[in-house]
Amino acid sequence: MNPGAEYGPAKRWPVERFIAAAQEIQKRTNCVWLLFGGTGDAAITGQIAASLRASRVAFHALAGQTTLRELMALLKLCRVLLTNDSGPMHVAAALGTPVVVPFGSTSPELTGPGLPGDPRHRLLKSDAPCSPCFLRECPIDFRCMQGIGVERAAAAVGEALKR
């Protein structure tokens, strides 16, 4: 899981949804989560780690602890990466790891991973008429990301695991 995105908060699916998705996916798969991110993502991954620990979901918190080479090796080992539109999304896709990505302020057609239409990846969008706006911060109610539910993301991870 990679809950960060450097461009700004409008590219970040809500932390609470990452937590709920991780809990739901763990129930279905009994997986172990790897929490990726840079040093600037420590607060986000710390919040996720605390919630996962409280709900007894297995994880390893790695935000800010890997070199690029180590990140690449770990992403290659992952069966799927639940991530925002971010650098690690592109790295994972380039390594052949399927990605599940909620898109809000950006466009999967313009900034999505890999080649357009790659069936390994699940690119999630809401029907918010203001998306994509390409803004760093949402000036209204963040409906583009709020419109992407936990169940939809969990189902997309499940589909990616079946490939």
If one counts the domains in the chain, the total is 1
Q: What is the CATH number of the domain that holds 23?
A: 3.40.50.2000
Residue 85 within a domain: yes
Residue 60 within a domain: yes
pLDDT tens digits, 144-159: 999 999 999 999 999 9
pLDDT tens digits, 36-58: 999 999 999 999 999 999 999 99
Residue 19 within a domain: yes
Residue 3 within a domain: no
Is 0.85 topped by the overall pTM?
yes
Residue 92 within a domain: yes
d(CA 109, CA 123): 10
Residue 2 within a domain: no
Residue 4 within a domain: no
